[in-house]
Chain A
Amino acid sequence: MKNLTPLAQTYLDRFDAARRSLPGHASPAVTALRESGLARFKALDFPGRKVEEWRFTNLSPLTKGIEAMEAPATSLPVAEFKTPHVMTFINGRFSHANSALGELPKGLTLTSFASELDAGNSTLLESDAEDSRAVVALNTAFMEDGFVLTAAENTTLDTSILIRFVSLDGTADNARHMRNIIRLGKNATVTLLEEHAGADGHAYFANPVTDIALEEGARLNHYKFQAESNTAFHLATTDCEVPAGAHYENFSLSTGARLSRNEITTRITGDKALSSLNGAYLIRGHQHCDTTTITRHLVPENESKQVYKGILDDDAQGVFQGKIQIVPDAQKVSGDQLSRALLLSDRASVAVKPELEIHADDVKCSHGASSGELDEDALFYLQSRGIDGKTARKMLIDAFLADVLDEITDEAVRSFFAAITARWMEEV
């Protein structure tokens, strides 16, 4: 048998000692779950580039083992996004002191996953036992905390919930295996923003897994701002089931991490369901950002849409892999996808793999992908109108991003994200 990667070996060695302090250690069901996760992870190891799904993202900087950086611990930054409902996790654990859950509507609960596990509640993870993804298996073995959001039938939240995952140092055990659960009842509507942040110079590995199930007619606006430390690793996995009449909207804005991957799988299981996955990544330096989506249309008459845009400067590397799968007999399905990347530097690069796998004939599917620099003609046009080069470039980049930011339904989040992208652009 081939040797495990050093980091994988570390996890295997550490498991016995660690599990006694992990939440739910008194519960046999939780223990069994962790052991099965560890066994699967041992068999899988971290994926190498020979694994087709990971051919563009080289995990070896992570799997060699993370060195703790000598960076001073920082204090919690004030949240920029204002909302009455804030839940904060510091270094992978729920921080009651820094959270203000506010008054949530009746039928809506927001708790910490660790407290659920400590209460022996493992039923939330029934689907987990068969998962063949290494990072998910690792998460199952070591999951420590996260949020659990449930909404009863017809519950509507008018504002939004902010969940903050903040890393304040680069030591601890260098990893945050967060497990988040979202369950929305029939016709419930919730808006949620996740913030993943850490101060530059701190090295750690964030491995969040989010499991979402919507019931008929439910709507979830799920936004994510990934601004991890520039020396951190962030591998996020999100699964969502979208039944009849439900609408899942996801928008991910990524500006952080040395190496990040945002993998989203949606399973569309009902008619008139809509999965709308969008995002933008703005990276520079030696950052590597991977966006991977898998959209599975399992029944007839539903729709999926995707728009992803990336701006890459310096030596940054962008990856987009998007697969649309339509199973036999899933007729009258529409699936559209667009990915575009803007290269601002001669050393930046992008790898794209938009994939269609279609087994039904009465469908409409398309994907488009493009990459390149700013349009010279457009630049010239603006300059000939008396706009200086720098402003003209900024206008064109703004316009490039505006398209995708417009996909965000929630106005407050849209303007928050617009402010972040504007700030990023000032440094171009």
Chain B
Amino acid sequence: MAIARETVEQVNSVSDKYKYGFFSDIESDTAPIGLSEDIVRFISAKKEEPSWLLEWRLKAYRHWLTMIEPEWANVHYPKIDFQDIYYYSAPKQKDKPKSLDEVDPELLEVYKKLGIPLKEQEVLAGVEGAHNVAVDAVFDSVSVATTFRERLEKEGVIFCPISEAVRDHPELVQKFMGSVVPYTDNYYAALNSAVFTDGSFCYIPKGVRCPMELSTYFRINAAQTGQFERTLIIAEEESYVSYLEGCTAPMRDENQLHAAVVELIIMKDAEIKYSTVQNWYPGDENGVGGIYNFVTKRAACRGDNAKVSWTQVETGSAITWKYPSCILQGDNSVGEFYSIAIANNMQQADTGTKMIHLGKNTSSTIISKGISAGKAQNTYRGLVRMGRKAANARNHTVCDSLLIGDKCGAHTVPYIENQSRTATVEHEATTSKVSEEQLFYCQQRGLSEEESMALIVNGFCKEVLQKLPMEFAVEAQKLVGISLEGSVG
């Protein structure tokens, strides 16, 4: 009950709907507007990349030119002009900062405002027993700071911007990048492969349990800029890591494109827990502005007993197009997907997952909670495929949708393909509205209509919220309340 009360308080205390909508005037270094082979070369040169990577980017770019923008998702938006986007924007800096003390104080100020402490001693100060969180902060196109690196290095964990990994660990990057999401995968993955600018790289060596949560915080700041980051996480045998991702952007009248690729590789007996709180600027109530969030996320369980868990809270973005997927290759491997997608006002979300069962005794769980309010459209789209060799595989899927208001839409489009006799696939989905009785009960106990709604919605999402790491769960719970502001009455 304490958590519920906190949510209610939070809803009351927040007066402006999107508190991360500020813009920071930070001088930046940008590439010329538009996209061409020269821009791809420009980005690669800026990053001082080896020739193999430039070649790979160019191959991706040439392939992208042959592809057609996908239109199957249940989202509607004007055609994106790919020549009207800056593909590279980095805060200006004289020399690479050697420590956090040398990072531009204005940048640190931005992250402070966002509630992301980059000074290590401030991290969760005063919370006894809580885990520390190592943060990689990505600002527009580049990573500006990564905390706790020394501590992690002691354990053998590599956690750094991907551009640094290309320089310092080229063998790992070359071996794994594009092995889960090849550049031919889809339109936005190809675009990302051509122009990706930064992102995080994690490598957890064999037998290591990462001593703290790793986190990347993405911030789009510059106008007319697209953010194309690439995250690559490799968990070697018997290792474990929990990774968090957060994102925000300023309020603007224009739509900005965010097309990321995330690849996870999980070896035998290893586990990755990947949590996202996506809070890009959603646009105003009339649908002006906001981020187009077109993301490809995929995990490959390469070894036996590997486990991957995706948890996402999707509250932001004008349009979300995202299907974190699991390829369960190793026998007994486990894939999980827990999602809350909230769409309010004019937001459109088309999200879900793919569970591809290839190995024996693989199992997967999908819990998806979609909430639509205002004039929003929310779609769950998912695939569960049991391959011929997936003996005794199991899947259990629950998709629940909640509708608030009579102008919104909730859609469920699951694809289930079973080629294995001994596999069991179960799917259930329901759609309903918040019951009048529940609302009445809460109001009769003295809560306002809006407080009651936040309480009920939090209850609806509880199964997923519980899966988030503690640091994120609190934030996510508050977000659920805020995102639904103005949806009742």
Q: Chain A interface (Cβ within 8 Å of chain B)?
A: 52, 328-329, 331, 341, 343-373
Partner of A363, one of B413, B423, B428, B431: B431
Contact between B406 and A371, CB atoms less than 8 A apart:
no
Contact between B425 and A370, CB atoms less than 8 A apart:
yes
In the complex where A351-B416, A353-B416, A371-B416 touch, is A358 in contact with B431 (Cβ < 8 A)?
yes
In the complex where A52-B72, A355-B413, A369-B414 touch, is A361 in contact with B404 (Cβ < 8 A)?
yes
Q: A353-B413, A361-B403, A372-B423 are in contact. List 20 more A-B contacts (CB 8 A).
A: A52-B72, A343-B421, A345-B421, A346-B388, A348-B421, A349-B418, A350-B417, A352-B416, A356-B431, A357-B409, A357-B411, A359-B409, A363-B432, A364-B432, A365-B431, A367-B429, A369-B425, A370-B424, A370-B425, A371-B425
In the complex where A328-B406, A372-B423 touch, is A354 in contact with B418 (Cβ < 8 A)?
no
Smallest Cβ-Cβ distance to B428: which chain A residue: A368
Partner of B419, one of A349, A355, A360: A349
Contact between A343 and B406, CB atoms less than 8 A apart:
no
Q: Using Cβ atoms and an 8 Å threshold, which residues of chain A touch B429?
A: 354, 356, 366-368
Smallest Cβ-Cβ distance to A352: which chain B residue: B416
Minimum distance in angstroms from B436 CB to a CB of chain A: 9
- For chain A, what secondary structure do more than half of its interface residues adopt (helix, strand, loop), or is it mixed? strand
Q: How far is the CA of A355 from the CA of B415 in the complex (A)?
A: 9
Q: How far is the CA of A351 from the CA of B408 in the complex (A)?
A: 29
Q: Chain B interface (Cβ within 8 Å of chain A)?
A: 72, 388, 401, 403-433
In the complex where A361-B405, A373-B422 touch, is A349 in contact with B417 (Cβ < 8 A)?
yes
Partner of B428, one of A345, A347, A366: A366
Question: What are 27 A-B contacts with C-beta separation under 8 Å?
Answer: A52-B72, A329-B406, A331-B406, A343-B418, A349-B417, A349-B418, A350-B416, A351-B418, A352-B414, A352-B418, A353-B413, A354-B427, A355-B413, A356-B411, A356-B413, A359-B408, A361-B406, A363-B403, A364-B430, A367-B428, A367-B429, A369-B416, A371-B416, A371-B424, A372-B423, A372-B424, A373-B421
Q: 6 smallest A-B Cβ distances: which pairs? A: A361-B403, A372-B424, A349-B419, A352-B416, A356-B412, A343-B421
Q: Using Cβ atoms and an 8 Å threshold, which residues of chain B touch A358?
A: 401, 403, 409-411, 431
Q: Using Cβ atoms and an 8 Å threshold, which residues of chain B touch A350?
A: 416-418
Q: How far is the CA of A346 from the CA of B419 in the complex (A)?
A: 8
Partner of B431, one of A52, A329, A343, A366: A366
In the complex where A351-B416, A355-B411, A373-B422 touch, is A362 in contact with B406 (Cβ < 8 A)?
yes
Smallest Cβ-Cβ distance to B385: which chain A residue: A351
Smallest Cβ-Cβ distance to A335: which chain B residue: B431
Partner of A328, one of B407, B412, B419: B407
Q: How far is the CA of A371 from the CA of B418 in the complex (A)?
A: 7
Partner of A362, one of B412, B417, B430, B433: B433
Q: Using Cβ atoms and an 8 Å threshold, which residues of chain A touch B432?
A: 363-365
Contact between B419 and A370, CB atoms less than 8 A apart:
no
Q: Using Cβ atoms and an 8 Å threshold, which residues of chain B touch A366?
A: 428-431
Smallest Cβ-Cβ distance to A363: which chain B residue: B431
Smallest Cβ-Cβ distance to B403: which chain A residue: A361
Q: How far is the CA of A354 from the CA of B431 in the complex (A)?
A: 13
Q: Using Cβ atoms and an 8 Å threshold, which residues of chain A touch B426?
A: 368-370
Q: Using Cβ atoms and an 8 Å threshold, which residues of chain A touch B423?
A: 371-372
In the complex where A358-B409, A370-B424, A371-B425 touch, is A365 in contact with B418 (Cβ < 8 A)?
no
Q: Using Cβ atoms and an 8 Å threshold, which residues of chain B touch A354?
A: 412, 414, 427, 429
Q: Using Cβ atoms and an 8 Å threshold, which residues of chain B touch A347?
A: 388
Q: How far is the CA of A329 from the CA of B405 in the complex (A)?
A: 11
Q: Using Cβ atoms and an 8 Å threshold, which residues of chain B touch A363?
A: 403, 431-433
Minimum distance in angstroms from B31 CB to a CB of chain A: 37
Q: How far is the CA of A188 from the CA of B33 in the complex (A)?
A: 69
Partner of A370, one of B388, B417, B427: B427
Q: How far is the CA of A73 from the CA of B188 in the complex (A)?
A: 57
Minimum distance in angstroms from A351 CB to a CB of chain B: 5
Smallest Cβ-Cβ distance to A55: which chain B residue: B415
Minimum distance in angstroms from B392 CB to a CB of chain A: 10
Q: Using Cβ atoms and an 8 Å threshold, which residues of chain A touch B403?
A: 358, 360-361, 363
Q: How far is the CA of A331 from the CA of B433 in the complex (A)?
A: 11
Minimum distance in angstroms from A331 CB to a CB of chain B: 7
Minimum distance in angstroms from A136 CB to a CB of chain B: 24
Minimum distance in angstroms from A57 CB to a CB of chain B: 13
Smallest Cβ-Cβ distance to B72: which chain A residue: A52
Partner of A368, one of B420, B427, B431: B427
Q: How far is the CA of A343 from the CA of B386 in the complex (A)?
A: 13
Contact between B412 and A367, CB atoms less than 8 A apart:
yes
Q: How far is the CA of A398 from the CA of B403 in the complex (A)?
A: 39
Q: How far is the CA of A352 from the CA of B397 in the complex (A)?
A: 13
